[in-house]
Structure 1
Amino acid sequence: MARFGRDGHPTIKQVAARAGVSIKTVSRVINGSVYVSEAARRRVARAIAQLNYRPNALARGLVTGRSRSIGLVIADIANPFFPPMVRAIEDAAAARGYNVILCDTDEDADRERGAISVLLERKVDGLILSASRVPEAFLRQLAVDRVPLVVVNRVVRHPRIAAVLVDSVAGGRLATEHLLAMGHRRIAYLAGPCASFSNRSRLRGYRQALARAGLPFDPDLVAGGATSLAAGREAMRVLLGLDRPPTAVFAFDDLMALGALEELRRRGLRVPGDVAIVGFDDIDLAAFVDPPLTTVAQPKVEMGRLAATRLLDMVEGKSSAARRIVTLAPQLVVRHSCGAKPGQAAHAPQEPRGPAGRTGSIRGGAEG
């Protein structure tokens, strides 16, 4: 009868003895080396199964220099945008034998720094930062320190930092141009966090669409500065207090759009009859509110899959300098909250107003 190790588990030495090979051969099989005969590989696999042997991950990491884990830092786990992307990252990592350690920062840059420090202390093989709020200099230092790093929905100018993002400038234009084409000229923007790369990009797209339509930018029509239902309600309250309130709103994300919708309903105003709304993200809930929310969709699952693939390629030395930044196209999902019929693109203004262009793609959503 085999005598197991002091912790009661079989050892690599016992696997080697059972298979009739050296310990080095067992190690090569476990680590996927090609320098093992097929016969020896089969004997080792059979011995591992018979003994129910499980490699010691820590010891294996000391040998390979890898922990087979990656760190994932997100801005707000309560935001419905993140779970589909997190799931896609976990699925892609698991398919290649890696675990994911998840940290939430609650939109706080100091907490993000702390989370990154803890993950590095735990010897993760690389980091994915989604909606990162820390200064760019901090991220560049990680790259200088040779930490494999992928940022999501942000661009950092460093040759060793990869990025996966949706084109938020195009998304901002797409949403605003759609509202312009529906006949609106007093269009507000519900802004997200000031430190957000995506917020700045969507605001830029919003301003570009106004400029193309020959309309001046009015800073009074920009309200907000956070991302939550409460922030959307408060921003909408501020906008409704203007001498000339907006007739349409483009929100940084769907949570803010839903908060604005709640405030409008509380005041007895109709959506889209009195105020039209377009969000951003296309969270699952967007199709089921009343009225169903028109929004700009981000390919959340694809973003997660690409981020994980890029990072693991970097960790395993398979990455190339080509396509350091992967930019995905946004898509306008037309539902009832903007005043158009689901699936209907607003090609021309409904009133005699200036021209409006279109960028990106348009598809219909659920009618709720």
Structure 2
Amino acid sequence: MRKPTTLKDVAGALGMHKSTVSLALSGKGTISAETRRRVTQVAHELGYEPNVIAQRLARGTETATVQILSGMLDVGIATEKILLIQQELSAHGFEVPLYTWHSLSASKENSERQAAQVRGLCRQRPRAIVCAVQRLPDAILQELDAYQARGGIVISYDTEVPYEWDQIVFDREENAYRAAKHLLEAGHRKLGLGMSHLREPHSPTDPQVHRLRGFQKALAEFGVPFQSQWFFHTSTYERGGAELAKQFLALEDRPTALAIVNDYMAMALMTELTRAGMRLPDDLSLIGHDNQPIAAYCPVPLTTLTQPTDIIAEAVVAQLRERLQSTSAPPARIPIESVLVKRGSVTPPKERR
């Protein structure tokens, strides 16, 4: 692969000093018009592209870049939030590059490499960094905290983290609590929970930790014991729903209701159980999460709790604009709550009708 043309290459071709070429290309200094023309022409012929980031850092000028960091991209709600935030920030004149990772392994080697990458991004001096914190390792969060301590701006969203920066918090613990409570209020006492695997070791940025805590809190309030055999760990989305169906059908003693952490998983579960001859919601009540469009079009329209992506994105952008106006204000913690959407997938258990 051909190496990119450098300023030194251009200077060598012209027989000039690098500083003269740099001044000519930047428009600074007392360089003659003819010299600027020659330098620009040769630079173009050699394919020289200036390093915009290096130029900005050298000048100390302010950038219009807001970086987005995310520990994951998916086919659902995580990506939807990122796209909405990018759209809102772009409408306000910002450049909004996205940085994510193929793997967020908890190994020390991976964590150190990812932290070094974030350190490099911080050195580019963006106006701010917007961070989707769920599933990000501590090493990355610590780099972001150090960046803010040096005068940077960090706005995070999703899970709450123990750092003094602005946070838009979607309360997944409350979300799961309300789902379980709705099933309990419908008369169910045999409740199960279906979600993707917990990370090991358990991380405070893993949304599944908060969901499990909220589910258990609702059970405790109603004096219902948590049954580990009805706590289902699977893959994500449709594949996870199919896996959950196999686990569920293999049980002799089954729960009468399930809370499922996303609507795609619930839809796949519903489809597989129907194929196996079960009648929903007569044989099993289901409640999902996120209120994705698919929830209204499941074989049985799915009762679910919203994750209001538009409200989250608007809150992120509004708080960022406010922070840019006042860097001395104390950090804000802005909670975002879900709304229960009742459809046809939850009914009282058969034995209580």
What are the within-5 Å matches in structure 2 for residues 252-267 of structure 1? 252-267=261-276
Alignment of 1:58-137 (within 5 A): 63=59, 65-105=61-101, 108-109=104-105, 110=110, 113=114, 116=118, 119-120=121-122, 123-137=125-139
Check if 1:331 corresponds to 2:335: no
SS at match of 1:72: strand
Pairs aligned (count): 293
- Once the two structures are superposed, residues 216-265 of structure 1 have per-residue CA deviations (whole angstroms, 9 ceiling, x without a partner) of 11111111154221112212321322221122110112222223223212
Change in Cα spacing, 1:122 to 1:257, as seen in structure 2 (3 Å) is farther
Note the 1:1-368 alignment, pairs <5 A. Answer: 63=59, 65-105=61-101, 108-109=104-105, 110=110, 113=114, 116=118, 119-120=121-122, 123-146=125-148, 147-159=152-164, 161-195=165-199, 197-314=206-323, 317-318=326-327, 320-322=329-331, 324-339=332-347
CA contact (8 A) 2:198 2:209 kept: yes
- Quote how far apart the aligned CAs of 1:215 are: 0.8
Distance, in Å, in 2 between the alignment partners of 1:300 and 1:71 is 19
| Contact residue 70 and residue 127 of structure 1 kept, 8 A | yes
Structure 1 residues without counterparts, runs of 5 or longer? 1-5, 14-55, 341-348, 354-368
Q: What amino acid is aligned across from residue 346 of structure 2 in structure 1?
A: C
**Residues 63 and 193 of structure 1: is their aligned pair in 2 closer, same or farther, counting only changes over 3 Å?**
farther
Change (3 A) 1:214 1:313: same
Change (3 A) 1:318 1:260: same
Q: How far off is 1:151 after superposition?
A: 2.4
Is the contact between residue 119 and residue 143 of structure 2 (CA under 8 Å) also seen in structure 1? no
Deviations 1:65-96 (A, max 9, x none): 43312222334433321344223312331233
Cα deviation, 1:128-159, whole Å, max 9, x if unaligned, reads 22253133353023212334322222122121
Question: Counterparts of 1:136 and 1:163 in 2: how far apart (Å)?
Answer: 16
Please tell me the residue identity of whatever aligns with 1:169.
Answer: E
CA offset at residue 199 of structure 1?
Answer: 1.5
Q: Which runs of 5+ in 2 are unaligned?
A: 1-20, 29-50, 200-204
Q: Separation in 2 of the partners of 1:138 and 1:104? A: 12
* Partner Cα separation in structure 1 for residue 92 and residue 314 of structure 2: 12
Deviation by residue 1:292-346 (Cα, 9 ceiling, x = unmatched): 2111101111111222333454456546215x22111111111112238xxxxxx
CA contact (8 A) 1:127 1:311 kept: no
The verdict on how the C-alpha distance between 1:107 and 1:201 changes in structure 2, with shifts beyond 3 A counting, is farther
Give me the whole-angstrom Cα distance separating, in 1, the residues matched to 2:352 and 2:283: 19
- Aligned partners of 1:174, 1:138: CA distance in 2, in Å? 31
Structure number having the greater helix percentage: 2
Which AA in structure 2 matches 1:145? Y
Give RMSD over aligned pairs: 3.2
Q: TM-score, normalised by structure 1?
A: 0.69
* 1:74–1:104 Cα contact (<8 Å) kept: yes
Give the Cα separation in 1 of the matches to 2:320 and 2:225.
42
Whether the 8 Å contact between 2:85 and 2:314 is mirrored in structure 1 is yes
TM-score of the aligned structures, taking structure 2 as reference length: 0.72
1:240/1:151 Cα in 2 relative to 1: closer, same or farther (>3 Å)? Answer: farther
Q: Distance in 1 between matches of 2:282 and 2:102?
A: 35
CA distance in 2, matches of 1:75, 1:260: 27
**Secondary structure at the residue paired with 2:96?**
strand
Contact 2:134 2:207 in 1 (8 A): no
